[in-house]
Amino acid sequence: MFSWDLLANAVVAGLLLGGFYAAVSLGISLIFGLLDIANIAQPAFVILGAYATYVTNTAYGLDPILAGVLFTPLFYLVGAGVYRIYYGAFERRGDEALRGLVFFFGVLFIIEVSLSMKFGVDYRLVQAPYIGKSIDLGGGVGIAYRYLVPCVVGVAMTLVLYLFLGRTFYGRAIMAVSQDQLALRLMGANPVQIKTIAFGIGIAAASLAGALLISIAPVIPSTDRDYIGRMFAITVLGGMGSIGGTLLAAVILGVIESLMSTFFGPSWSLAVSFGILLAALAVRPAGLFGR
Amino acid sequence: MTRTRALIATVAATLVLIAAVALAPVARAADPIKVGFGMALTGGLSANGKPALLAVQIWKDDVNKKGGLLGRPVELVFYDDQTNPATVPGIYTKLLDVDKVDLVISGYGTNLIAPLMPIAMERKLTIMGMFGLANNEKYQYPNYFQIQPAGPDPQTSTAIGFFELAARQTPKPQTVALVGADAEYPQNAMVGARELIKKFGFKTVYDKNYPPSTVDYTPIVRAIKATNADIVFVASYPPDSVGMLRAALEVGLSPKIFGGGMVGLQFTSVMQSMGPALNGIVNYDFWAPEPTMLAMSGIKEFLKEYQGRAEKAGVDPLGYYLPPYSYALVQILGQAVEASKSLDQQKIADYIRAHEFSTIVGKVKFGKNGEWAKGRTLMVQYQKIQGTGIEQFRGPGKKIVLYPDDLKSGNIIYPYSAALK
C-alpha cells in the first residue's frame, strides 16, 4: 500500500501532531523537568483549560485559541496559589516526595469531579471557522487546520518559553533554581518566589494547551488520563527541563505515531512510539537534551 | 414469693418473645423493595451511565406513584462504578451482603457487566443486563436477560443492517474497509462485520485496529482512502467517532456507504457539535424520534418526563439512545415481580424467560442467552441536518430509520456523497 503521497501526508500529519504534543507537554516540562515537582495534575489543568474554552466558545462565540490566551492570567494565579499550598504543606517540611504526589493526585481528582458535577459527562466540542477544513499543499498532500493551528501555537509557545528562560532575569532565575537553590539565595533571589512564578507559568501553559486540545478532539472530564503517559514520556525523552528537547521529542513521537498508523496499522503506533522512547533512554538515560 | 418469681419470669419471657417477633427480619408492607446496581457516573462511559440512572429513577417514581411493587415502595441503592470493571465485584458484594438489596440490575456497558456475571451465577441471581454485547455467550447462564435489542447473534447485530442495506444498492458495492478501536465492543462488532462481509460476498481491502487513545485519525483515514473502498465500516467509541468523521471530511473520504458501528453519534451533544458533518452517515442506533418509533406505548410520556429532568441532572437533554431501554429494563423486572408475586430470584427469572413484555420500547421477548429473541438494532441515516441547533433533532426527519423494514421511516440517500450536498 506504499505511496509517496501517503508517506508525505504521514510525515506532515506527524509534524503537526508533534507541535500539538509539545504544547500539551510544555507545562510539565517546566514543572516536572525544571522544578522537580511531580505535578501529575497537569493534564487535569489542561482539561480545565479546555472547559474554560468551551464555555466562552459556546456562550460568546469566542475563538478557542483566543479564549485559551485570555484565560492564561487566571490560570497563572491558580498555579501560583496551588504551588504556595504545596510548598507550605509539603516542600518546606521536606515531605514532597510521596505526600506531594498524593497531593497532586488529589488535585487531579478534585478538578475531574468538579468538572463532572458542573458540566456533566457529555462530550464537549467547540466551533471555529477553521475546524473541519483543510488546505491542499499540492502533490496529494493536505493539512487540516484543526491540526495546523495547534501546531503553530505549540511551536510559538515553545519559542516564547525558550526565549523567556534564556533571555530574561526571571527566566534565568528559574533555570538557576532548578540547579542550585542555595546559590540563587546568595544572589539575593527568593527561590520560593521564583518557583511560584515558574509553576504559575506551567499552569498558564495548560490553559492554552486545553484550548488546542478541545479544538482537535471532544473532551470529557476524564480525557486527562489519555495524556498523562504521553506528557511525561515526552518530557523525559526530551531531557528533563529542556524546552527545545520537549519540542523535538514531541515531534518524534508524533511522526512515529503517524507513520505507524499509515503503513503498519494504527494498533502498533503507541507501542512502537514508547518502544523507541525506551530504546532512546537506554542509550541516553538523561534524554535527548538532558543535562 | 415463688408465685411472684413465676409471674416475673412469665412477663419477661413474654417480653422477650414480643421483642423477638418484632425484631425478626420479616418484610413488612412498608419495607421498601431495594433495587441495587453500580453505574458509570464518572469515567469514560458516564455520558451514558448518568442518563441511564435518570431513566431508572423515573421508573422508580412511576412505580411508587402507582403503589410500588407487591404493595411495597421501591428504593434504589446505587454506587458509582467509575467505568472501572475492577470496582464491580466490591460494589455488588456490598449491595448483596450489607445493603441487602432484593433485586439487582447491571451497570451500563459490556465491560461493566462482564465482572458481574460470575457473582450473579454464584449467588443464583436474576440479572438484568444493560447494553452488554455477547456477555453471556460463554456462560450461557439462564437467569441473565439483556435489554439491548441485539438479538440471538449479538456479534453480527451491529453490522447486519449496514451490510444488508449496502447489498441492496444498485450497482452493488464490492469492496469494504473495516476499522475499529482496540476495545471489547468494537472488536466484537468487527468480528460480526467480517462474518457478514463473507455472507454478502464483499471483498475486504483494509482491516485494521487502532488504540482508543489515538489523537490524530487523519493517517488512518488517508490509508483507507488509498484503498478506494466502496464501503467503510467503522466500529468506534465517541471520541474516535468524532475524530474519524472530522478526518474523513478533511481528507475528502467519500465511499458509497460510510458508518456502521460508531458509538457517540447518537449523543445529543455530539449531534449538536457535528451538525451537517453527520449528513449521509449510515449508523446503528436503537431509537429515533421517527413516527414508527413514537407509536410505542408510553414512550412519549417517558421522554417528556426525562427531558424535563435532564437539564437539572446534567445529562443528555434528548435521551434517545439509552434511557428508553434503561427504563424498559426495570419495567420488565417490575412486571415480572408483580406477575410472579415474588422476590424469589428463580421464580422471577422463570417468568421473564417464559413471557413477552410490553414496554416503552415495544414488545420484548427474551431468547437464547438472555438476548432479545429477535434482534432489532436499527440502521439510521442522518439527513438534511442544517446548523447545530438542538431543536431540529427533537422531531422526525433528521435521523431516518432505514432498517429493519417494519420500522422503516424513509429511504437511504445513496451514495454517501449525495447526502453531503
Domain boundary among B335, B350, B370: B370
Least confident range of A270-274, B33-37, B131-135 = A270-274
Number of Cβ within 10 Å of residue B320's Cβ equals 24
pLDDT class of A197 with cuts at 50, 70, 90: very high
B182 touches chain A (CB under 8 A): yes
For residues A222 and B43, is the Cβ–Cβ distance under 8 A? Answer: yes
C-alpha cell at B87: 470496582
**How close does chain A come to B206, measured CA to CA in Å?**
10
In this predicted structure, the answer to whether residue B23 has a pLDDT above a threshold of 50 is no
User: Which of A79, A75, A44, A55 lies closest to A226, judged by CA?
Assistant: A44
Q: In this complex, is the C-beta atom of B270 within 8 Å of any C-beta atom belonging to chain A?
A: yes
> Alpha helices, DSSP H only, in chain A?
4-28, 42-60, 64-70, 72-89, 98-119, 145-167, 169-179, 181-186, 191-216, 225-238, 243-263, 269-283
Rounded to whole angstroms, the Cα distance separating A266 from B219 reads: 9
Q: Containing H/E element for B222?
A: helix B218-227
pTM: 0.82
Residue ranges making up the domain that contains B390 = 154-292+377-420
Position B5 confidence tier, pLDDT thresholds 50, 70, 90:
low
The average pLDDT across B65-93 equals: 95
Closest CA to B234 of B149, B148, B165, B158: B158
Q: Contacts of residue B247 in chain A, CB cutoff 8 Å?
A: 144
Q: Is residue B192 part of a domain?
A: yes
Same domain, B301 and B279: no
Domain identity same for B163 and B250: yes
Q: Is the pLDDT of residue A53 over 90?
A: yes
On chain B, the residues whose CB falls within 8 A of the CB of A23 are none
Q: How many helices and strands (H and E) does chain B possess?
A: 15, 14
User: DSSP of B284-308, one letter per residue?
Assistant: EES--SSHHHHTSTTHHHHHHHHHH
Q: In Å, how far is A64's CA from the nearest CA of chain B? A: 14
Residue B238 CA to residue B181 CA, distance in Å, equals 11
pLDDT average, residue stretch A278-285: 85
Cβ(B158)–Cβ(B259) below 8 Å: no
Reported confidence tier of residue A158, pLDDT bands at 50, 70, 90: very high
Instruction: Give the pLDDT score at A252.
Output: 92
pLDDT per residue as tens digits for the range B131-146: 988 889 889 999 999 9
**Residues B266 and B400 placed together within one structural domain of the fold:** yes
**Is the dihedral angle over the CA atoms B238, B243, B249, B251 positive or is it negative?**
negative
Whether the Cβ atoms of residue A214 and residue A261 lie closer than 8 Å to each other: no
* Residue B282 within any structural domain of the chain: yes
* Residue A230 predicted with pLDDT over 90: no
For position B10, what pLDDT does the model report?
Answer: 52
Contact residues for B132 (Cβ-Cβ < 8 A; gap 6+): B106, B109, B110, B113, B114, B146, B148
DSSP label at A124?
Answer: B
Of A51-65, A187-201, A256-270, B246-260, least confident by mean pLDDT is A256-270
Domain match, B41 and B80 both: yes
- Number of domains present in the structure of chain B: 2
Q: Which of B44-78 are b and which e, b meaning 16 or more Cβ less than 10 Å from the residue's Cβ?
A: bbbbbbbbbbbbbbbbbebbeeeebbbebebbbbb
Q: How confident is the model at residue B28 (pLDDT cuts 50, 70, 90)?
A: low
Contact B251 A142 (CB under 8 A): yes
Interface with chain B: mutation pick from A261, A270, A272, highest number of B CBs within 10 Å: A261
Cell numbers for B81: 462504578
The model's pLDDT over A12-48, given as tens digits with 9 standing for 90+, comes to 999 999 999 999 999 999 999 888 898 999 999 999 9
Interface mutation vs chain A, best among B81, B84, B215, B251, most A CBs within 10 Å: B215
Decide if B12 touches A, using CB distance below 8 A. no
CATH code for the domain of B385: 3.40.50.2300
Alpha-carbon separation of residue A199 from A28, A176, A186, A211, A257 (angstroms): 9, 14, 22, 19, 30
- Mind telling me how many Å the CA of A161 is from chain B's nearest CA? 25
CB pairs under 8 A between A and B: 149
Q: Is the pLDDT of residue B116 over 60?
A: yes
The pLDDT-based confidence of B378 (bands split at 50, 70, 90) is: very high
Any B CB within 8 A of A56 CB: no
Per DSSP, the three-state class of A228 is helix
Mean pLDDT across the stretch A258-269? Answer: 84
B208 assigned to some structural domain: yes
Measured CA to CA in angstroms, residue B323 lies from A42, B285, B299 at distances of 35, 13, 10
Is residue B318 a part of any domain in this protein?
yes
Judge whether B254 is closer than 8 Å to chain A, CB to CB: no
Examine residue B304 and state whether it is found in any structural domain, yes or no: yes
Q: State chain B's mean pLDDT as an integer.
A: 90
Cβ pair B215:A133 closer than 8 A: no
Short-list A198, A158, A160, A161, CA closest to A179? A198
pLDDT of B379 reads 97
User: What mean pLDDT comes out for the span A267-273?
Assistant: 80
- Residue A1 confidence class, pLDDT cut points 50, 70, 90: low
* B277 touches B387 (CB < 8 A): no
Residue in the structure block whose three cell numbers are 413514537: B294
Q: Which helix (H) or strand (E) holds A140?
A: none
Q: What pLDDT is attached to residue A145? A: 92
Q: At A137, which amino acid appears?
A: L
pLDDT confidence tier of residue B26, bands split at 50, 70 and 90: very low
pLDDT in tens, B390-401: 889 998 999 999
What average pLDDT does range B1-29 have in this prediction?
49
- Provide the sign of the torsion angle of the four alpha carbons A112, A114, A116, A118, taken in this order: negative
Residue B294, pLDDT > 50, answer yes
Residues of B in contact with A221 (CB under 8 A): 42
Q: Tell whether B283 and B407 lie within a shared domain.
A: yes
Does A121 contact B46 at a Cβ distance shorter than 8 Å? yes
Position B19 pLDDT exceeds 50: no
The pLDDT of residue A226:
84
pLDDT: which is higher, A141 or B161: B161
The percentage of residues in chain B with a pLDDT greater than 90, rounded to a whole number, is 73
Residue A95 has pLDDT above 90, yes or no: no
When CB atoms are compared, the residue of B42, B50, B264 closest to A123 is B264
Rounded alpha-carbon distances, angstroms, from residue B350 to A231, B131, B240, B369: 53, 21, 41, 14
Q: Can you tell me which residue has the cell 502498533?
A: A268
Residue pair A111/A47 in contact (Cβ under 8 Å)? The answer is yes
- Do B265 and B388 have their domain in common? yes
In chain A, the residue whose alpha carbon lies closest to the alpha carbon of B277 is A132
To test the contact with chain B by mutation, choose from A5, A54, A122 the residue with the greatest count of B C-beta atoms within 10 A, namely A122
User: What is the Cα–Cα distance from B142 to B315, expressed in whole angstroms?
Assistant: 34
Residue B69 included in any domain: yes
Q: Which amino acid, residue A38?
A: A
Alpha helix ranges (H) inside B276-412: 291-294, 299-313, 323-340, 345-354
Structure confidence at residue A283 (pLDDT)? 87
DSSP state of B377: -
pLDDT of residue B94: 97
B222 interfacial to chain A (CB closer than 8 Å)? yes
ipTM: 0.83
Q: Are residues B168 and B264 in the same domain?
A: yes
Give domain status of residue B1, yes or no: no
Q: Do A131 and B246 touch (CB under 8 A)?
A: yes
Res. B24: pLDDT tops 90: no
What pLDDT, in 10s, does the model give residues B216-272?
999 999 999 999 999 999 999 888 999 999 999 999 999 999 999 998 898 888 898
pLDDT at A101 over 90: no
Give the pLDDT band of residue B18 (cuts 50, 70, 90): very low
- So what's the pLDDT on residue B13? 53
Residues 190-219 of A with CB under 8 A from B: 216-218
How many residues would you count in chain B? 421
Lowest mean pLDDT among A235-244, B39-48, B113-122: B39-48
The amino acid at A249: A
Whether residues B245 and B300 share a domain: the answer is no
- Neighbouring residues of A66: CB distance < 8 A, sequence distance ≥ 6: none
HSE of B191 in the Cβ direction (CA atoms, 13 Å)?
11
Q: Are residues B273 and B174 in the same domain?
A: yes
Taking all residues of chain A, what is their mean pLDDT, rounded to a whole number? 89
Q: Do B208 and B328 have their domain in common?
A: no
d(CA B286, CA B329): 14
How many residues in chain A? Answer: 291
Let me know if residue B395 belongs to a domain: yes
Q: Which cell numbers in the block locate residue B98?
A: 450489607
Q: pLDDT band for A215, please (50, 70, 90 cuts).
A: very high
pLDDT value of residue B414? 94
Alpha-carbon distance of B180 to B216, in angstroms, equals 14
Angle (CA) B20 B24 B29, round 5° = 130
Nearest to B208 among A221, A223, A267 (CB): A267
B195 and B176 in a common domain: yes
| Among A39, A64, A18, CA closest to A198 | A39
Residue B249 and residue B275 in contact, taking contact as beta carbons nearer than 8 Å: no
Q: Which residues on neighbouring strands pair with residue B378, listed in sequence order?
A: B285
Q: Are residues B252 and B307 in the same domain?
A: no
